[in-house]
Amino acid sequence: MTETNAAPLVGIIMGSQSDWPTLGKAAETLRDFDVPFETRIVSAHRTPQLLYDYTNGAANRGIQCIIAGAGGAAHLPGMASAMTTLPVLAVPVKSRVLNGVDSLLSIVQMPAGIPTATFAIGDAGATNAGLFAVSILGLQDHDLAKRLANYREALRQKIESSPSPVLDPDS
């Protein structure tokens, strides 16, 4: 699933099609919580005008936060933050050459005044960006906040119901 039918509340943007396996985790998370979202490939370097148009129009279209993922010279999240006051949740994509450390460092050290919330490199970061978007939207949507609390409770119960690690049969 790359889109939902309802009017999107979250925009998921990524620098390249190659980022989708990672950003898809954010989409899966939003889908699991029935949060309407849209997905777009928007590159800070290859399509700068599209990035300008997308971020400038997002709030007027009802988007409440943007999840932006990119790898390598990952300028997409910071540039999106520069052009909107919507919350921008950044996902550093694990790059082929430097394992995403380049992505992380390109994103995280924003100058004072232009905040960008930066998550972990790769799949965990994308999942958590999705959950953080749910948390933001949950401030105005009590049912959604309740479902997020239930999700956390399920995580807790899963560990508490089987607290011992499963031993590797070969060891």
Q: Which residue lies nearer to ligand RP5 by CB, 96 or 146?
A: 96
- Shortest gap between Cβ of 18 and ligand RP5 (angstroms)? 3
How long a stretch of residues is the chain?
A: 171
Pick between residue 15 and residue 125 the one whose CB is nearest to ligand RP5: 15
Q: Which is nearer to ligand RP5, 83 or 145 (CB)?
A: 83
| Gap between the Cα atoms of 52 and 13, Å rounded | 12
Give the binding site for ligand RP5 (CB under 6 A). 15-16, 18-19, 43, 45, 70-72, 93
Nearest-approach distance from CB 45 to ligand RP5, in angstroms:
6
* Cβ 70 to ligand RP5 shortest distance, Å: 3
Element (H, E) at 85: none
Longest dimension (CA), the chain: 58
Closer residue to ligand RP5 in complex, CB, 18/109: 18
Q: Write down the least CB distance from residue 14 to ligand RP5, Å.
A: 6
Residue 37: closest CA among 69, 64, 76: 64
CB atoms under 10 Å from CB of 56, counted, come to 11
What whole-number distance in Å separates Cα of residue 59 and Cα of residue 64? 6
First to last CA, the chain: 40
Cβ 27 to ligand RP5, closest distance in Å?
A: 16
Q: Tell me the CB-side half-sphere exposure of residue 143, using CA atoms within 13 A.
A: 3
Burial of 20 (0-12, 13-18, 19+ CB in 10 A): middle
2/18 with CB nearer ligand RP5: 18
